[in-house]
Amino acid sequence: MSIDDEGPRRPLSPPPRPPGSALAPASLAVHLGRPPRSPGGPLNPDIVLSSTFHQGGDLMYGRDGNPTWEALEDAVGGLEGGQALSYASGLAAISAVFECLPVPGRVVIAADAYNGTRRYLSDVAGRGRLRFRTVDIADTEATLDACSEVAAAPGRPSGAPGSFGAGGLLWLESPTNPLLAIADLEALTAGAHEMGLDVAVDNTFATPLLQRPLDLGADVVVHSATKWLAGHSDVVLGVAATRRDDVLASLTTRRSLHGGIPGPWEAWLVLRGIRTLDVRMQRCQANAAELAGRLRGHPRVTGVRYPGLADHPGHALAARQMSGFGAMLAFEVVGGADAAEAVALKCQLATAGTSLGGVETLIERRGRWSGEGDLPPGLLRLSVGVEDVDDLWDDLDAALS
- CA 183 to CA 141: how far, in whole Å? 11
Q: In total, how many domains does the chain have?
A: 2
Question: Do 202 and 310 sit in the same domain of this protein?
Answer: no
Q: Report the alpha-carbon distance of residue 134 to residue 112 in Å, rounded.
A: 8
In tens, the pLDDT along 93-117 reads: 999 999 999 999 999 999 999 999 9
324 and 383 inside one domain: yes
In this structure, the answer to whether residues 356 and 377 fall within a common structural domain is yes
The Cα 283–Cα 385 span in angstroms is: 8
Average pLDDT over residues 18-33: 88
* Residue 320 pLDDT > 50: yes
In angstroms, the CA 243 to CA 213 distance is: 11
- Which CATH number covers residue 337? 3.90.1150.10
Q: Is residue 334 domain-shared with residue 262, that is, in the same domain?
A: no
Q: Convert the pLDDT of each residue in 197-253 to its tens digit.
A: 999 999 999 999 999 999 999 999 999 999 999 999 999 999 999 999 999 999 999
Rg, the chain, Cα only: 21
Boundary (domain end) residue, out of 252, 275, 298 = 275
Structural domain includes residue 16: no
Residue 2 has pLDDT above 80, yes or no: no
Q: What is the pLDDT of residues 142-200, one digit of tens each?
A: 999 999 999 988 766 666 677 999 999 999 999 999 999 999 999 999 999 999 999 99
Statement to judge: residues 76 and 132 lie in one domain: yes
State the amino acid at position 369 in one-letter form: W
Please determine, for residue 14, whether its predicted confidence score (pLDDT) is greater than 70: no
| Residues 186 and 325 both lie in one domain | no
In a domain, residue 189? The reply is: yes
| Percent of the chain residues topping a pLDDT of 70 | 94
- Tell me the CATH number at 98: 3.40.640.10
Q: Let me know if residue 13 belongs to a domain.
A: no
At residue 375, does pLDDT exceed 60? yes
64 with 208, same domain: the answer is: yes
Please indicate, yes or no, whether residues 259 and 291 belong to a single structural domain of this protein. no
**pLDDT at site 206:** 98
Whether residue 270 is found in the same domain as residue 295: no
Half-sphere exposure of residue 353, counting CA atoms within 13 Å on the CB side? 15
Among 234, 259, 275, which residue terminates a domain?
A: 275
Indicate the residue among 241, 275, 309 that finishes a domain.
Answer: 275
Q: What is the pLDDT of residue 3?
A: 41
On whether residue 19 sits in a domain, the answer given is no
Instruction: Give me the percent of the chain exceeding a pLDDT of 90.
Output: 87
Q: Report the pLDDT value the prediction gives residue 109, as an integer from 0 to 100.
A: 98
Query: pLDDT-derived band of residue 370, with 50, 70 and 90 as boundaries?
Result: confident
Q: Which residue segment(s) compose the domain that 212 sits in?
A: 25-275
Within a domain: 227:
yes
Q: Does a structural domain hold residue 7?
A: no
Give the integer Cα–Cα distance in Å for 337 and 352: 15
Domain identity same for 330 and 205: no
The answer on 340 and 366 residing in a single domain is: yes
My answer on whether 66 and 126 are in the same domain is yes
Task: Assign 17 a pLDDT band (cuts: 50, 70, 90).
Answer: confident
In a domain, residue 289? The reply is: yes
Domain-located, residue 376: yes
Active site residue ranges: 63, 114, 202, 227
